[in-house]
Structure 1
């Protein structure tokens, strides 16, 4: 033990990595009232590491060639030792990654974690989301099944609606159609982008530790007793959350590995046969619904990208000075209506444009998509700026400690 301690001191004197870890992971002062909704940030980080590790091993056996890509994936599943496990962990890991990140962002929306002084923290989180989407889309193309091929064809063709769009599309394809050069480009980018995500995550953590975590009450820490050390209080809480999270992930891997997949993707890509219904992965469906609900292609593309880019301006669109929805009675109901709207957009994106909802009086899928798209943008561009000026918030507690003590006394 003494020798180990001496080595740690020798290294730390020259490269203070252990001092840094001790301060950031153990002594780091954290609000004393964080709940389990704050687990999802650490879960996202752990999932990212697992995705990178499994991706590296899968890349060792994958062949990014349009003639052999599909067979190489099947070979991983059948011939590589535990290749099926690596692929199912990686494939369902994308689903789990988006689940935790979406919950993480909705939690930020509910508790006002995007407000001053955490604007850059939120904006870096949106950058991470965009990089995740790009990485996931390119990874979906790699198995080179029917849905992979046609999904790549449809999504890349969207850029043709923009100025100089045809040149952009040809550059993305590396030619005049989705083919071998496209697959090679997507494979390289799919491999490299996660390391760029790690860099942005590092900046995200630096911004987080600059002003500390927000909390369910949305008020700043005013005295030392408002904080507790991160370890052991929140490391234990995170480990419990990780255990529950891994149970869900393991269930998908071992019992329902293709639950979120498309059967058409187990058919080798064929440029001459179009699938009956081309749909992206579930985590893209709300944005896909926005795209399809607008008849004009250019406006639809702008709206789809705008649905993500509007998140960058959220800290300035929300005019309320109160962070947490606990003290904003009207905003609380509007927030849950917005969550429902996002789920409905996902359902719209999953169905064909001519689908009819008999339970909604025969409403068409496109009409429902247009209504929910208006609600989506109305929440950010109309409701948030106005609500902050007309809503009367509830009185805020004087300090975190006072609020926690009152809660404990009520519990007794």
Structure 2
């Protein structure tokens, strides 16, 4: 977004002038994350999680490249090479634990980032493309994480690969062919491990490319903010540097304290103990579960236990699991409310905090728990609510809700007054122009 009051980049010496003329990288950085990029002055710490997600991606790429130098993608030695990294490679244990816990940290940060976007309606115009690219990033993350989970070739790795790739077999006519094509055979074996390793190494760089598009799309309309009111004047903004670089630096420091607490003191807390047992196709684990960040979607998959007319239960579960994420692509058009921020939407706020969030938490619990009548029933109830929330409740709320009065500008939201608001009547309810 072009702000007339944004500070302009000016080369200071011969070298920077030469670079600015031949390869204007300093100007690009200055306009992207420096004083040349004004952002709303009322951003809360929830806006730190975009930067934290970028840090997690870099962390995963760096540690992943180091681990790839010592890992052998062969079913005969994959488990042993993982143990070799842990026991014999200098600082290998640190790289392995940093990478494994970094995946969990990445998903924690991204989930908070997504929930912030849902609460503050960051998917609304003019930021639809930012949201759509974010959903693409999340799908790529899920694929990358699943393939990474297979690489240690422990019990949960093998059986997780068998269960997840078996889902494609539920697709009529072509399902079995797709499953065999993914695995390179009829069961997870050396061909599958090689493919998953190659894709697990490649996809983070694809994610990095989509992240660049995501940031590029962000800089066209500018950042959203907790009020949902668009920037009107210079007093509504602050330069990204030094104000938000300092704020992001503080957030990064807090993140690293928590992250290294897991890496050094409880590195296996978020993993599964069965994955420290070598893969055995003849011994099925008592409870096959994916990593914790897949549990809500796994619960949706397992919620379908009976055929629906001529549609098998397994196919229904697969379709519902994928639809639970694909529905996010349509949020910019499902939510027709002219108000963005949940702060000014009382009905939306109640359904978000007491409906959607508990539903996802319960689904997460059911996805990681042993199958029982209770967990299946809870999964079915909250799966139904999950889809009702996005497809029925949210559109209805956006039409019937009566929003609370909104501030005239970001300046008024921060300081409690805005002299320019005297130029016209202060709105008592939100309108598309003000929201």
The answer to whether 1:24 aligns with 2:32 is: yes
The answer to whether 1:350 aligns with 2:395 is: no
Equivalent position of 1:303 in the other structure? 320
The answer to whether 1:333 aligns with 2:342 is: no
CA distance in 1, matches of 2:68, 2:223: 37
Structure 2 counterpart SS, 1:228: strand
Cα drift, residue 6 of structure 1 = 2.7
Structure 2 counterpart SS, 1:91: helix
- Residue by residue, what CA displacement relative to the aligned partner does 1:323-356 show, whole Å, maximum 9, x if unpaired? 00000001011111211110110001111221x6
CA distance in 2, matches of 1:221, 1:8: 32
Match of 2:158 among 135, 149, 152: 149
Cα drift, residue 407 of structure 1 = 8.3
Structure 2 counterpart SS, 1:30: strand
Question: How many pairs were matched up?
Answer: 397
- Residue by residue, what CA displacement relative to the aligned partner does 1:364-386 show, whole Å, maximum 9, x if unpaired? 11111100001100110010110
CA distance in 1, matches of 2:273, 2:337: 47
Equivalent position of 1:105 in the other structure? 114
Cα drift, residue 387 of structure 1 = 0.4
Whether the 8 Å contact between 2:158 and 2:188 is mirrored in structure 1 is yes
CA distance in 2, matches of 1:402, 1:319: 26
CA distance in 1, matches of 2:161, 2:106: 21
CA distance in 1, matches of 2:301, 2:361: 16
Structure 1 counterpart SS, 2:416: helix
CA distance in 2, matches of 1:249, 1:304: 29
Structure 2 counterpart SS, 1:57: helix
Equivalent position of 2:42 in the other structure? 33
The answer to whether 1:372 aligns with 2:369 is: no
The answer to whether 1:392 aligns with 2:392 is: no
Equivalent position of 1:180 in the other structure? 190
CA distance in 2, matches of 1:51, 1:130: 16
Equivalent position of 1:6 in the other structure? 14
Whether the 8 Å contact between 2:366 and 2:379 is mirrored in structure 1 is yes
CA distance in 1, matches of 2:128, 2:370: 38
Cα drift, residue 402 of structure 1 = 1.3
Match of 1:319 among 328, 336, 344: 336
Cα drift, residue 7 of structure 1 = 2.3
- Residue by residue, what CA displacement relative to the aligned partner does 1:120-158 show, whole Å, maximum 9, x if unpaired? 110100000000000000000000000000000000000
The answer to whether 1:158 aligns with 2:167 is: yes
CA distance in 2, matches of 1:141, 1:25: 37
CA distance in 2, matches of 1:142, 1:53: 17
4+ residue runs over 3 A deviation: none
Could you say if the C-alpha distance between residues 10 and 335 of structure 1 is closer, same or farther in structure 2, counting changes exceeding 3 Å? Answer: same
Q: CA RMSD in A?
A: 1.1
Could you say if the C-alpha distance between residues 407 and 258 of structure 1 is closer, same or farther in structure 2, counting changes exceeding 3 Å? Answer: farther
Q: TM-score normalized by structure 2?
A: 0.90
- Residue by residue, what CA displacement relative to the aligned partner does 1:199-220 show, whole Å, maximum 9, x if unpaired? 1000000110000010000010
Where in structure 1 are there 5+ consecutive unaligned residues?
Answer: 357-363
Whether the 8 Å contact between 2:411 and 2:417 is mirrored in structure 1 is no
Structure 2 counterpart SS, 1:211: coil
Structure 2 counterpart SS, 1:394: coil
Q: Which has the higher helix share?
A: 1
Match of 1:93 among 86, 102, 121: 102
CA distance in 1, matches of 2:294, 2:413: 40
Could you say if the C-alpha distance between residues 212 and 66 of structure 1 is closer, same or farther in structure 2, counting changes exceeding 3 Å? Answer: same
CA distance in 1, matches of 2:240, 2:44: 13
